[in-house]
Structure 1
Amino acid sequence: MIAPVRPAPAGPEDGARRSFLARLSIAAGAVAAALVAVPSGLFLLGLRRAPRVWRTVGRLDAFEVGKTVEVSFLDPSPLPWTGVTARTAAWLRRVDDQEFIAFSVHCTHLGCPVRWLQEAELFMCPCHGGVFYEDGRVASGPPPRPLSRYPVRVRAGVVEILTSPIPIA
């Protein structure tokens, strides 16, 4: 019969090593928790706001008066790894020589992308049947409020939209 091998008794070095590793683990856990908790807390308290940035959507002469077109632009706070998902869009209508109206492409019900139907002069949401008039007001369906608008300006012959996070209720 083989006698079991017993570990050597722990010396002072083993106790010091265990104590050091325990402290190191606690410190690493505290740092990791802070890295998650601080930004989350700031966001939940409303202290961290997404930036609003003016984005160019085209030259003034590229838009026809009375027409509504989809324009795409970069999200206001793109992250390096977002790739193509950093692009978003808006429906832009040229009212007259210098005035434009821009609507979010996202329905105010659940954020589905709305389509512009030129012949009917309506925005339609394919998800739950929401319909919006050409001025963004709710025509029918479940949307609780009109389409969100983006501020638009014309500077030096260029049309710009003041971007913001996706405006969903």
Structure 2
Amino acid sequence: MVTGVLLFQAIACAVLSGIVASNKNRNPAGWGVLGFLFGLFGLIAALVMEEVEPQEKEVSGRQSSRQSGAQEFDPDKHEKKCPDCAEYIKIEARVCKHCGREFSDEEVKRQVDERRKSVKVDQGGSEGKSGSRERRDEENYKSDDHDTEEILSTHDFNGVGICEDCDYTRGYAKANNYVCPGS
């Protein structure tokens, strides 16, 4: 009888530890084993541990989407090839760091938009959605006489550097005077 109760307690602690660990982006199998072996102490350890951020994995040279699906495009992770020196620079770069070639604001914006479209198509997005979003985005670009801090305050960066509503980076919004449509 006592053995049955102890076995039930060990299994219950293992299952609960695994569930708690899974909710905190930890290995549920490993924490389940700890819950089984150490019982209530393993469950308490799983409860007090901190949550970790989910890891992004490389998939054939491209970044996979986050589990939440919120990340569609991050210009900081994309590069372009300088036509003068053939070196790679960030896609938002206005001046090549290798040869000093300058890119116009319109050229940079066009390159970023083209890359964004290609990433959406690669991720299974349709051209129709991308086109309607692009038309909506054109209305949100403000002239240079607007206050930068006011424009940035329309975004919800939440410490990750990407607006949760429009998926643009802080640098892109600042450089292009982009007002978030979700504000």
Q: Which has the higher strand share?
A: 1
Q: Which has the higher helix share?
A: 2
Structure possessing the higher radius of gyration over alpha carbons? 1
